[in-house]
Structure 1
């Protein structure tokens, strides 16, 4: 996505968030989409825009990515799931659901894991969310899945956004991602097809309809 396109989309989602703000308590916004849909970039841009110009001690918005809840590689290897890392069954979904539920109401300062892609592991306690932060943006592939236990999340979202650039675009982006990591074209295509695109098709087919759908 171009810089201008990202700015335009960020403005659209900012306006959407403003229309869904809770008069009291937390506003929890889900931004979902398949791998390589652009959801992480949009979520980060949204939080940055919402916090722009704020002089308050606590930020107006905070970001909670789902990726911090990846199961450790040792657990995945023991379960034979390491080649499918990123699939729904490779996350601590119970812990993630509990975290989102807890964020729906303001409480004490709370701490959450992030995911370090260079190390390929979760980093505990690296995201701080203060009790006076009114907007939480939750980002991830499976936020709107119909299947249990993921479907429990919908209850705690004030509103949801789904990004769908289309399967052809996702395929090109995922192939390019693995080429960037040094795989040859054949290996990149195989890696994308056997894992990322399996997950992408699941997200596109089995997610509930979001309050705001961004196509293209």
Structure 2
């Protein structure tokens, strides 16, 4: 472990981090793990043991301490308040593997007896419908802060932190590339993982009045990190794989790309990356990295190689 006096983080390499699992047992099989991974994520049981088991232990300790703090607060005010969930934010670039990380964390945390009810809330559902984005001329800015209904997201997070028993949230289809009519139901959760590119961003408007940010509701936050050229390569590779799979479905918003040859598909993916995703990364996502409590850095092979834990 490296402990730079002037850095707000402690840095661990993979070996050092893996030793912090404290013999937490592996509860996932290879088959279960494969069902949790994305299109191009190839996570082994060894990688899960090295990275996710220590992370599961850390988050369990935080969540348990949070529950104890909630009890202490009840004692102080002299009344029993409603149970509220421990909320974890997971941020990072497009194609970095946020969804896979969130799903694995969910599966592992749900095995701890103190908090078996774990849900994932993705911010994609809070994107404005395509019709509204087209009307505002920002359909090509999907994923940028202005493309989200932040007030709706804040309302849902506020309901969760108010101890509301049942909270509903919008869902999103990556097939139709639009918000769905049906909703996700989150009922009496112990932990909620909020996953999305925008979750650590703060509004840029210069207002004198206090503002509430999405991250204000987080009890712990994680940023998945990788080098820019690595992210570009992953995005292009994912696009190429989707061209041969999901894009083949006539219902897919991107069906028009299904007939592109390799060279054409590579060029289209590179153009989308540079015009939209790279710009969003520079302007809105990467600047939020150091707001996270934990930074997990990936190498080119999708394996985590450095872990940065914020000092307390």
TM-score when scaled to structure 2? 0.63
The Cα RMSD (Å) is 2.3
- Residue 79 of structure 1 corresponds to 136
- Residue 162 of structure 1 corresponds to 223
Contiguous gaps of at least 5 residues in structure 2: 1-40, 71-83, 206-210, 244-256, 258-264, 299-312
Match of 1:177 among 217, 238, 259: 238
Say yes or no: does 1:143 pair with 2:209: no
Q: Higher relative CO (CA 8 A, sep ≥ 6), structure 1 or 2? A: 1
User: Closer, same or farther in 2 for the Cα pair 1:115/1:143, shift >3 Å?
Assistant: same
Q: How does 1:45-64 map to 2 (within 5 A)?
A: 45-52=104-111, 59-64=116-121
8 Å contact from structure 1 (residues 111, 129) kept in 2: yes
Aligned residues: 213
Say yes or no: does 1:28 pair with 2:70: no
Match of 1:15 among 57, 75, 83: 57
Computing the radius of gyration over CA atoms, which structure comes out larger, 1 or 2? 2
- Residue 2 of structure 1 corresponds to 42
User: Closer, same or farther in 2 for the Cα pair 1:10/1:174, shift >3 Å?
Assistant: same
Contiguous gaps of at least 5 residues in structure 1: none
The C-alpha deviation readout for 1:11-64, integer Å capped at 9, x for no partner, is 23212211211114321111111111111111011112222487x9x9521110
8 Å contact from structure 1 (residues 6, 42) kept in 2: no
The CA distance in 2 between the partners of 1:130 and 1:53, in whole Å, is 18
The CA distance in 1 between the partners of 2:86 and 2:112, in whole Å, is 20
SS of 2:170's equivalent? strand
SS of 1:147's equivalent? coil
Deviation at 1:124, TM superposition (A): 4.0
Deviation at 1:179, TM superposition (A): 2.3
Flag as ranges the 4+ runs of structure 1 deviating above 6 A.
none
The CA distance in 2 between the partners of 1:121 and 1:7, in whole Å, is 36
The CA distance in 2 between the partners of 1:7 and 1:52, in whole Å, is 15
The C-alpha deviation readout for 1:113-160, integer Å capped at 9, x for no partner, is 1211112122244321112x2111111111111335896122211111
8 Å contact from structure 1 (residues 35, 199) kept in 2: no
